[in-house]
Amino acid sequence: MNITQSERDAVYKTIFSRRDVRGEFKPDQIPDDVLMQVLKAAHHAPSVGFMQPWDFIIVKNADTKKKIKDAFALAHAEAADMFEDEKREMYKSFKLEGITEAPIGICVTCDRTRNGPVVIGRTAIPEMDLFSSVCAVQNLWLAARAENLGVGWVSIIHNEALQEILKTPDHIVPVAYLCVGYVSFFHEKPELEKAGWLNRENIESLIHYEHWASKT
Ligand SMILES: Cc1cc2nc3c(=O)[nH]c(=O)nc-3n(C[C@H](O)[C@H](O)[C@H](O)COP(=O)(O)O)c2cc1C
């Protein structure tokens, strides 16, 4: 099956206009079929040995969101102390989550025991199962953008807190807590870039030929 030019354009449009959303969530509910489509896209991500180690915990309950927000606040306060002076003030000024505003949260997890102890492709590098769940996150993020849904990844939170709040068994690792919802608008550029925190790296400087030291 060949991808046509207009389909290709749509894929790139989705990739380049995807943003991490924190402050622009609208309360509008996400129709079940749209949510299902986005989860299905996540479920069709590549995974090591076709392990499909992910699960998706959908959070709509306001009390649960409040607990997650409290856990974020703790980790956020710890994080602020790690930055120096000016950067600390800047860090504190950023909005880095939309936990209570987003109509739903989705925790993408990794079941490190799924399909037995020996998995094709996870033999030399054990983290490959976690990477597979991250692939599911990226599929979800892009499918959501194609549905005009915003996604914000909240990583300033301890996994132990998420495990306790979401009552996950010990062998389940939370990989991503995502805030998902319709948005008032998508920023054109990453907010951290706009704020002058960091610039997008020049792609030429990231490409190496044959070995690390060769840039041509
Ligand atoms: C693994 C991962 C964790 C992230 N954690 C957070 C977070 O805790 N809070 C936040 O506001 N953004 C978080 N982000 C979003 C990044 O800041 C964002 O992707 C980056 O600044 C580029 O912006 P863009 O996604 O809008 O292109 C995370 C992104 C990734 C991939």
Query: From first to last of its 216 residues, what are the pLDDT tens digits of the chain?
Result: 999 999 999 999 999 999 999 999 999 999 999 999 999 999 999 999 999 999 999 999 999 999 999 999 999 999 999 999 889 999 999 999 999 999 999 999 999 999 999 999 999 999 999 999 999 999 999 999 999 999 999 999 999 999 999 999 999 999 999 999 999 999 999 999 999 999 999 999 999 999 999 887
Give the Å distance between the CA of 4 and the centre of ligand 1. Answer: 31
**String of DSSP letters for 111-158:** ETTTT-S--TT-SS-TTHHHHHHHHHHHHHHHHHHHTTEEEEEE-SS-
Is the whole-model pTM more than 0.85?
Answer: yes
Q: From the CA of 198, give the closest atom in ligand 1.
A: 21
Q: From the CA of 21, give the closest atom in ligand 1.
A: 26
Query: Atom 30 of ligand 1 has which residue's CA nearest to it?
Result: 153
Q: Are 175 and 128 in contact (CB under 8 A)?
A: no
